[in-house]
Chain A
């Protein structure tokens, strides 16, 4: 069965801090890995990673995939209170009828205090 483990489960920081969120996965037919941000509504897409070692960046957020270690990290620099959310990672399946199916981790709850 596909498995995703995120760590830490929760994190409390102050504005301006830098955080690193971790995601480890075991997926039988790996295609890509997606990161989402979930506030009190729908998960919002952040990044899709398909190649090892290539950093994707969007403003203060960046992410990288390590296919050898079956892991990914999400970095947020100079955190702001608006970054408070649950961050979800989800590998996408490449196999047959399960193509595209996302397996979600339990998420990291990030709280940023002013």
Chain B
């Protein structure tokens, strides 16, 4: 059973370019969470999605950042017009949904974004 997959693992962008980060949840999981880990800081929640729905985007910057989880295909975190401050590790986690035994989130390996 494959775990959470993220690609690319490393992404280098110049200021002003767009970054697209992909996340495929574990098989059977329909809940996806995105977290960001800035250098020397802890993991911070960004957005929570279910298939075709954004449930909670309270942790996502209002501008330049967007996320989606289409009916088919991976979840995408999109950062437009990247700036140096966007350099971080972006982790995706998935769970099978609400319920005591099922809301454990399993993390992918992360995408390390470097903005030059």
In the assembled complex, B107 has its CB within 8 A of some CB on chain A: yes
Enumerate chain B interface residues (CB-CB to A < 8 A): 4, 31, 33, 35, 41-45, 48, 55-56, 58-59, 91, 93, 95, 98, 100, 103-110
Q: Which residue of B lies closest to A95 (CB)?
A: B56
Check A101 against B33 for contact (C-beta < 8 Å): yes
User: Contacts of A88 on B, CB cut-off 8 Å?
Assistant: 42-43
Q: When chains A and B are docked, how far (Å) is the Cα of A100 from the Cα of B55?
A: 11
The stretch from A54-62, A73-81, A103-111 touching chain B is A103-111
Check A100 against B107 for contact (C-beta < 8 Å): no
Q: When chains A and B are docked, how far (Å) is the Cα of A81 from the Cα of B44?
A: 28
Near B by CB (< 8 A), chain A positions 71-91 give: 88, 90
Give the contacting residue for B41; candidates A34, A43, A106; CB below 8 A: A106
User: Contacts of B44 on A, CB cut-off 8 Å?
Assistant: 104
Number of interface residues of A (CB under 8 A): 25
In the assembled complex, A32 has its CB within 8 A of some CB on chain B: yes
Check A98 against B58 for contact (C-beta < 8 Å): yes
In the assembled complex, A92 has its CB within 8 A of some CB on chain B: yes
Q: When chains A and B are docked, how far (Å) is the Cα of A36 from the Cα of B58?
A: 23
Additional A-B contacts beyond A43-B43, A92-B103, A101-B33 (5; CB < 8 A): A45-B107, A99-B55, A100-B98, A102-B105, A104-B44
Near B by CB (< 8 A), chain A positions 35-58 give: 36, 41-45, 48, 50
Task: Tell me the minimal C-beta distance from A65 to chain B in angstroms.
Answer: 13
A-B contact pairs, 21 of them (CB 8 A): A32-B100, A32-B103, A34-B105, A42-B4, A42-B107, A42-B108, A42-B110, A43-B43, A43-B91, A45-B106, A45-B107, A50-B100, A97-B55, A99-B55, A99-B98, A99-B103, A100-B98, A100-B105, A101-B48, A102-B93, A103-B45
